[in-house]
């Protein structure tokens, strides 16, 4: 097998440390990189993801992008789908036992995950594995032996379990098994480096310990910060509705990116792009000196992020659309047509605007549609609507009136 020609170790470290919260241990990573350069053998680097939901948002891509950075440098990127562990459920951050997922749910989610992660990773250079490959084959003897390598007292030091015990909340035994079974992933993969979010730190440390117990050199654990959501306060999450979905349209993504608070810009540049620290520092300096307007810096950021998932041309068009609709207060060049033909035509002369917004998926729920109307973010036929009980005339729909939801979605509803 041909040897890989790697960049100098210091250059690799500078790229890999970008945005990282912690490296356990940095001297070990440096030693592994030095050995890799010497032998021409790439490091085996993996990211394990449990497919517990069908879609990935920008917050999930922070760890994925770091895996891409290792891949950029010529190392072996392993994307591990925790199809077995997902059915147990990671107790991290949970105040109660998760309901278990079915095999059908996990398999369906795993398929959509792969389609999305390959927007960042090179599919030809990515090793995709499923932890059911080895975990399903473990005998009861193997599981007992695995459990014998870790102390209960150390497991209960975990913050999630400690707080539940303090509050007299139940802990199921299978939850204690989760970090041990995922540690066996590291043993099976013979990994050199594992990437995870900061909240995964406990699991990653268990993985290192179990590798040693099985006679495998301990991997380096590399943790990434949590990306703060659009509200500027809490972690990005679908349940908090402060997320940017990577499968959303470029225009929708652009609008959301432009809504992030200015103080989060450098964090997004660091965690959601491939820019080096010195480049990000230069942008901050330009903003501080007044040579670059914060709005222009944010537009540049939005374009970079969107081009990662939809391509440069789509990102450029999204930027032009935003410029025209938001900055210049004009209608977009292309207005979406939302056809009524897929729905049962109402027998009344009107219907609630809330229902129209929800039916055409301009809001994820009727509650969200009501919230947008109350906030003054909805216009019908050029007039701002603030009453959530507002009724839309069927005659007006037939005339193709314009409906504007949020800053960027302008559609015409047709029969």
Tokens standing for residue 362: 């301009």
Q: Is residue 229 part of a domain?
A: no
pLDDT of residue 212: 96
Domain match, 152 and 68 both: yes
Q: Is residue 2 part of a domain?
A: no
pLDDT (tens digit per residue) in 82-92: 989 888 877 66
Domain match, 208 and 302 both: no
pLDDT over 70 at 97, yes or no: no
Domain match, 216 and 159 both: yes
Domain match, 287 and 357 both: no
pLDDT over 80 at 337, yes or no: no
Domain match, 124 and 267 both: no
Q: Which range is least confidently modeled, 4-18, 36-50, 366-380? A: 366-380
Domain match, 23 and 116 both: yes
Domain match, 95 and 34 both: yes
Task: Considering only residues 397 and 392, tell me which one the structure prediction assigns the higher pLDDT.
Answer: 392
pLDDT of residue 409: 56
pLDDT of residue 340: 52
Q: Is residue 235 part of a domain?
A: no
Mean pLDDT taken over the chain: 85
Rounded to whole angstroms, the Cα distance separating 128 from 47 reads 10
Residue of 245, 297, 288 whose CA lies nearest to 268: 297
Rounded to whole angstroms, the Cα distance separating 372 from 365 reads 11
Contacts of residue 403, Cβ cutoff 8 Å, sequence gap at least 6: 338, 356, 357, 362, 378, 379, 380, 410, 411, 412, 413
pLDDT of residue 331: 47
Per-residue pLDDT band at 59 (split at 50, 70, 90): very high
pLDDT over 60 at 263, yes or no: yes
Domain match, 347 and 378 both: yes
Task: Considering only residues 245 and 192, tell me which one the structure prediction assigns the higher pLDDT.
Answer: 192
Q: Is residue 239 part of a domain?
A: no
Indicate the residue among 224, 242, 259 that finishes a domain.
224
Domain match, 306 and 368 both: no
Q: Is residue 236 part of a domain?
A: no
pLDDT above 70: percentage of residues in the chain: 87
Q: Is the entire prediction scored with pTM above 0.85?
A: no
360 neighbors 339 (Cβ within 8 angstroms): no
Domain at 385, CATH number: 3.10.290.10
Report the phi/psi class of residue 190: left, alpha or beta, with left for phi > 0 and alpha for psi in -120 to 50.
left
Helix (H), strand (E), coil (C) string for 283-330: HHHHHHHCCCCHHHHHHHHHHHHHHHHHCHHHHHHHHHHHHHHHHCCC
Domain match, 270 and 340 both: no
Burial 82-114 (b: 16+ CB within 10 A, else e): bbbbbbbbbbbeeeeeeeebeeebbeebbeebe
pLDDT above 90: percentage of residues in the chain: 49
Task: Considering only residues 14 and 171, tell me which one the structure prediction assigns the higher pLDDT.
Answer: 14
Q: Is residue 179 part of a domain?
A: yes
Q: Is residue 234 part of a domain?
A: no
Indicate the residue among 286, 310, 327 that finishes a domain.
327
Query: In the beta sheet, which residues pair with residue 179?
Result: none
Rounded to whole angstroms, the Cα distance separating 42 from 5 reads 9
Indicate the residue among 299, 327, 355 that finishes a domain.
327
Most confident of 85-94, 153-162, 359-368, 388-397: 153-162
CB atoms within 10 A of CB 11: 12
Domain at 207, CATH number: 3.40.50.620
Residue of 183, 177, 71 whose CA lies nearest to 128: 71
pLDDT of residue 346: 53
Tokens standing for residue 35: 């050995």
Per-residue pLDDT band at 362 (split at 50, 70, 90): confident
Q: What is the mean pLDDT of residues 249-268?
A: 90
Most confident of 69-78, 145-154, 237-246: 69-78
Domain at 255, CATH number: 1.10.240.10
pLDDT over 80 at 10, yes or no: yes
Domain match, 61 and 175 both: yes
Task: Considering only residues 392 and 67, tell me which one the structure prediction assigns the higher pLDDT.
Answer: 67
Domain match, 46 and 160 both: yes
Cα dihedral 60, 61, 65, 71 in deg (nearest 10): 80
The number of distinct structural domains making up the chain is 3
pLDDT over 90 at 339, yes or no: no
Q: Is residue 164 part of a domain?
A: yes
Residue-number span of the structural domain to which 303 is assigned: 250-327
Q: What is the mean pLDDT of residues 290-313?
A: 93
Rounded to whole angstroms, the Cα distance separating 175 from 89 reads 7
246 burial type by CB count under 10 A (0-12 exposed, 13-18 middle, 19+ buried): buried
pLDDT of residue 187: 97
């Amino acid at each position: 097998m041909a040897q890989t020609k790697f960049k100098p170790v210091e250059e690799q470290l500078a790229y890999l440390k970008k945005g990282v919260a912690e490296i356990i241990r940095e001297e070990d990573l440096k030693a592994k990189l030095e050995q890799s350069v010497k032998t021409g053998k790439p490091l085996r680097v993996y990211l394990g993801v449990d497919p517990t939901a069908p879609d990935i948002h920008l917050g999930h891509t922070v760890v994925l992008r770091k895996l891409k950075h290792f891949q950029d440098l010529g190392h072996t990127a392993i994307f591990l789908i925790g199809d077995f562990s997902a059915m147990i459920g990671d107790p991290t951050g949970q105040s109660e036992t998760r309901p278990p997922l079915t095999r059908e749910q996990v398999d369906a989610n795993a398929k959509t995950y792969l389609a999305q992660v390959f927007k960042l990773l090179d599919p030809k250079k990515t090793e995709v594995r499923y932890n059911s490959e080895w975990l399903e084959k473990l005998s009861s003897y193997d599981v007992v032996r695995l459990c014998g390598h870790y102390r209960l007292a150390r497991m209960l030091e975990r913050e999630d379990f400690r707080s539940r015990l303090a509050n007299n909340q139940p802990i199921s035994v299978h939850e204690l098994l989760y970090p041990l079974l995922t540690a066996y992933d590291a043993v099976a993969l013979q990994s050199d480096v594992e990437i995870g979010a900061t909240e995964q730190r406990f699991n990653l440390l268990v993985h290192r310990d179990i590798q040693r117990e099985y006679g495998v050199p301990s991997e380096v654990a590399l943790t990434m910060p949590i990306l703060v959501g659009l509200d500027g306060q809490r972690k990005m999450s679908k349940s908090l509705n402060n997320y940017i979905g990577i499968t959303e349209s470029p225009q929708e993504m652009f609008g959301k990116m432009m809504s992030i608070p200015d103080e989060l810009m450098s964090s997004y540049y660091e965690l959601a792009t491939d820019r080096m620290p010195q480049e990000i520092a230069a942008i901050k300096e330009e903003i501080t000196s007044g040579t670059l307007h914060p709005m222009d810096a944010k537009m540049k950021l939005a374009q970079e992020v969107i081009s990662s998932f939809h391509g440069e041309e789509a990102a450029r068009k999204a930027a032009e659309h935003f410029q025209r609709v938001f900055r210049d207060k004009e209608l977009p060049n292309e207005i979406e047509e939302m056809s009524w033909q897929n729905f049962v035509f109402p027998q009344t002369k009107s219907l609630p605007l809330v229902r129209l917004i929800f039916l055409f998926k301009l809001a994820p729920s009727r509650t969200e549609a009501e919230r947008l109307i109350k906030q003054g973010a909805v216009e019908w036929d050029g007039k701002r609507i603030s009453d959530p009980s507002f009724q839309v005339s069927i005659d007006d729909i037939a005339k193709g009136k314009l409906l504007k939801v949020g800053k960027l979605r302008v559609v015409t509803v047709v029969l």
